Amino acid sequence: MGAPEGAGEEAMRLEELAELLERHIIVKRVLQSMKVVDKAKPWHCCIDKAETKDSKEAAGISSSFGVGATPDEAIIDYVHRLRGKILVLDFFDKEKRREFSVPLSLEP
């Protein structure tokens, strides 16, 4: 499952990607009581139950999220971090786990 990488691909918005994957986009302000790496960017954005990896062959995954001073900035940052990556959905559930190639043309 996934879009082909490279030139010629049609632009996809983050909302469309989340709908295709049947996932919610989470945008939230991180509480000051939590350890925020950059207090000037308290807003975080991610897709629910989605991790990333650099390529289909990569063994390791990482949690990926966008950060920003505003919700919109966090969404834009997240889109930049996702472009060209592999989204791994439900990583810890062997029956539901699936992967999706994020197009380089992904837009906020």
pTM of the model: 0.85
Q: What is the pLDDT of residue 8?
A: 46
Report the alpha-carbon distance of residue 74 to residue 106 in Å, rounded: 15
Q: Is residue 42 part of a domain?
A: yes
At 71, phi and psi to the nearest 5?
Answer: -55, -45
Q: What is the pLDDT of residue 59?
A: 87
Q: Is residue 4 part of a domain?
A: no
Q: Which two tokens stand for residue 105?
A: 């043309």
Q: In the chain, how many domains are there? A: 1
Taking only the tens place, the pLDDT of each residue in 35-87 is: 656 778 999 999 999 999 999 999 899 999 999 999 999 999 999 999 999 99
3-state class (DSSP) for residue 76: helix
Taking only the tens place, the pLDDT of each residue in 10-40 is: 789 999 999 999 999 999 998 765 665 677 8
Domain encompassing residue 49: 12-103
Q: Which two tokens stand for residue 3?
A: 């879009």
At 20, phi and psi to the nearest 5?
Answer: -60, -40
